Amino acid sequence: MKLRTIAERKKDVLAALESHHDLWVATADAKGQPHLIAASSWWDGSFIVVTTRVESRTAHNLAETGLAKLGHGTPADVILIDAELETSTPVGQADDKLAGGFSRAAGWDPREVGDDWAFYRLRPRRVQAYRGYEEIEGRDVMKGGRWLA
């Protein structure tokens, strides 16, 4: 198996974020109680946008800690993303760039579901990508919010 370079891994990460719009979102409250959901997502080129109900545990945890861990891909092609909450926007207050971009990418529009939903823009701080144990070493493609290639 040929190991991918950091540049190849970054390219694969961006391609995955742009073409597959479902991922896992893990959050925790201030006491460390974890919570995990599957969510639709949109990569806008800088942020990963997810949506959930404003009264959900995920929304409360994001408001409380501002942190999330995102999982994308399969166990054989892993993408893990540590992210920070940049903004939360109720769906009724979202402009078309945000709501329309999400809707076009994810294939559904949270504005049509109800006003109790919000968009959460998450800024990646660390991104890891690896395919199997052989690629675990050197898996970081972003650290401190900066791409390494």
CATH number, domain 6-147: 2.30.110.10
Mean pLDDT value across residues 67-74: 97
Counting residues of the chain whose pLDDT is more than 70, the rounded percentage is 100
Domain range summary for the chain, segments of one domain joined by + = 6-147
Q: Please give the single-letter amino acid code of residue 64.
A: E
Q: Please give the single-letter amino acid code of residue 19.
A: S
pLDDT number for residue 142: 99
pLDDT number for residue 129: 98
Cα 41 from Cα 38, distance rounded (Å): 10
Please say if the pLDDT value at position 1 is more than 80. no
Please say if the pLDDT value at position 75 is more than 80. yes
Cα 40 from Cα 75, distance rounded (Å): 19
pTM of the model: 0.96
Please say if the pLDDT value at position 77 is more than 80. yes
Among candidate residues 79, 92, 74, the one with its CA nearest the CA of residue 127:
79
